[in-house]
Amino acid sequence: MANLFFVPQYIITGENAIQLSMPHIRAFGKRALIVTDDTMVKFGNVKKLTDELEKYDILYRIYSGINSEPTHTMIDEGVRIFQQGGFDFLIGIGGGSPLDSMKAIGAVVSNGGSITQYKGKVIEKDLPPTVAIPTTAGTGSEATKVSIITNTDTGVKMLLSDPKLMAKIAVIDPVFTLTVPPAITAATGVDALTHAVEAYTSLKAFPMADMFALSAVKKIFKNIYEVYTNGTNVEARREMAIAAMEGGIAFSNASVTIVHGMSRPIGALFHVPHGLSNAMLLEVCLRFLKPGATDRLCDLAKAIGVYSEGMSEEEGADAFVNAIIELLHKLDIQTLQEFGVKKEEFIKQIPKMASDALDSGSPGNTRRTPSNAQIQELYQELWDSGEKK
């Protein structure tokens, strides 16, 4: 079976990657719209970028309105600013929300209409040139053909997936991740881990994507606790940043599965950040997945060194799942209850969340395909596990 494999046109990694990227960015034009959030401005990450743009006489405007997970109204505003300002290209700097927003703005600028019309849509026209600069080691959005935008009118997270959403340039500079606090470091790191695990266990997995998924899982298990406890370790931050990109490449090509399918409705309805909701779900979803992906989970156990000689595939798969559970505990991942979600409202929304999860298509990629009833049971199990913590 043949497979298409997509990556950004340029991937520039390591310390001072932003400086190395500038000659390529300059080729995109003289006017840039920077899509970001207020925190990136406050922490000085945007200034690191604009200082370099000014050296190359590139004019810019900062749109810092992506201060939560992106909604269709934020995209509408970004499109308006881009069109009125006559910009040549887009730069997204921040976590997954600004990067996803940057891609969505570019799609609407080139193809017209409203972003609310783009769920499942083929994007016909090329976007303006796009530059993605991640400041968290998590979403991998800098290296994916995916953008997730919430339609606040319907309460649904829309999954946009099209090769034209792939950034032209991905700039992976660990310096930008040094300001990330421990709790966000943990949640975004587990998000990257989830991407890699789901890509490797997806029904759409294939060898090129597997290579990146395995590499990401190894790097994350080796480095995530170090960056959680010692955020100034630049070497570990660099490894996590590369792992997040690798995870993004893996799932962008092989797709995600049940965790992401169930995660999006939690984010849309209860405003739990995407990486955190993935982290919350990972244990219950892996337990569900295991009977359908024992061999693949055993491979992952071998990759991280928890497989012992003589183990059966079943025992190896258990070893990997147990390693994930231990890691989640060490990283003190919040429960729904600790985040502030109310029981009555969560239970009430379970039928809608299950339907929305299945409608997204992601659970259908799982090697143990869930029914609506099983997804409802997993949401209930998620809530119950939080009460026991």
Residue 223 falls inside a structural domain: yes
Task: Assess whether 228 and 161 both reside in one domain.
Answer: no
Q: Does residue 290 belong to any structural domain of this protein?
A: yes
Query: Which among 153, 177, 201 is the end of a domain?
Result: 177
Q: Are residues 161 and 190 in the same domain?
A: no
Instruction: Read off the pLDDT band of 190 (50, 70, 90).
Output: very high
Beta strands in the chain (DSSP E): 10-13, 31-35, 59-63, 89-94, 130-134, 146-151, 156-161, 169-172
Task: Tell whether 301 is covered by a domain.
Answer: yes
Q: Is residue 75 part of a domain?
A: yes
* Percentage of residues in the chain having pLDDT higher than 90: 93
How far lies 159's CA from each of 201, 243, 345, in Å?
Answer: 20, 23, 24
Residues 17 and 76 in one domain: yes
- For the segment 233-246, the average pLDDT, to the nearest whole number, is 96
Q: Are residues 125 and 233 in the same domain?
A: no
Q: Pick the last residue of a domain from 137, 160, 177.
A: 177
Mean pLDDT value of segment 151-174:
92
* pLDDT (0 to 100) of residue 159: 86
Q: For position 120, what pLDDT does the model report? A: 82
pLDDT, residue 212, reads 98
Question: What is the amino acid identity at position 11?
Answer: I
Give the pLDDT score at 50. Answer: 98
pLDDT tens string 75-89: 999 999 999 999 999
- What does the block give as tokens for 353? 């969340």
CB under 8 Å to 45, separation ≥6 — which residues? 36, 93, 94, 135, 176, 179
pLDDT of residue 370: 97
Same domain, residue pair 321 and 371: yes
Among residues 160, 177, 194, which one ends one of the domains? Answer: 177
| In a shared domain, residues 214 and 152 | no
Tell whether 360 is covered by a domain.
yes
Both 145 and 56 in a single domain? yes
Q: What's the rounded mean pLDDT across residues 332-345? A: 96
| pLDDT per residue as tens digits for the range 2-25 | 888 999 999 999 999 999 999 999
Average pLDDT, the chain: 95
CA distance 355 to 304: 35
* pLDDT value for 18: 95
**Is residue 38 one of the residues assigned to a domain?**
yes
**Rounded average pLDDT over 158-167:** 93
d(CA 211, CA 191): 18
Domain of 44, CATH number, reads 3.40.50.1970
Domain match, 50 and 28 both: yes
DSSP states of 50-89 as a string? HHHHHHTT-EEEEE-B--SS-BHHHHHHHHHHHHHHT-SE
Q: Tokens representing 386?
A: 């939080």
Number of domains in the chain: 2
Q: How far apart are CA 211 and CA 256, in angstroms?
A: 16
Please, which pLDDT band fits residue 119 given cuts at 50, 70 and 90? confident
**Position of tokens 């703005």?**
105
In sequence order, what are the beta bridge partners of 91? 34, 131
How would DSSP label each residue in 132-178?
EEESSSS--GGG-SEEEEEETTTTEEEEEE-GGGS-SEEEE-GGGGT
Q: Please, which pLDDT band fits residue 56 given cuts at 50, 70 and 90? A: very high
Residue 283, pLDDT score:
96
What pLDDT does 77 receive? Answer: 97
Nearest to 357 by CA among 268, 281, 260, 278: 260
Separation CA 112–CA 99 (nearest Å):
20
- Give the end-to-end CA distance of the chain in Å, rounded to a whole number: 45
Residue 3 falls within a domain, yes or no?
A: no
Average pLDDT over residues 233-250: 96
Query: What pLDDT does residue 170 have?
Result: 97
Indicate whether 25 and 149 sit together in one domain: yes
Q: Output the CA–CA distances (angstroms, integers) from residue 253 to 163, 298, 357, in the order listed.
A: 10, 22, 20
CA 246 to the chain's CA centroid: 11
Q: What's the pTM? A: 0.93
Q: Does residue 1 lie within any of the structural domains?
A: no
Looking at residue 68, what is its pLDDT? 86
Q: What is the pLDDT of residue 147?
A: 95
pLDDT, mean of residues 125-139: 96
| 169 shares its domain with 192 | no
Same domain, 331 and 197: yes
The predicted model gives 362-377 an average pLDDT of: 97
250 has pLDDT over 80: yes
Specify the CATH number for the domain of residue 334: 1.20.1090.10
pLDDT of residue 388: 79
Which residues constitute the domain of residue 261? Answer: 182-388
What are the backbone angles phi and psi of residue 44, rounded to the nearest 5°? 90, 5
Identify the pLDDT of residue 179.
86
In order of 34, 61, 107, 234, 308, the CA distances from 110 in angstroms are 17, 19, 5, 38, 53
Same-domain status, 146 and 163? yes
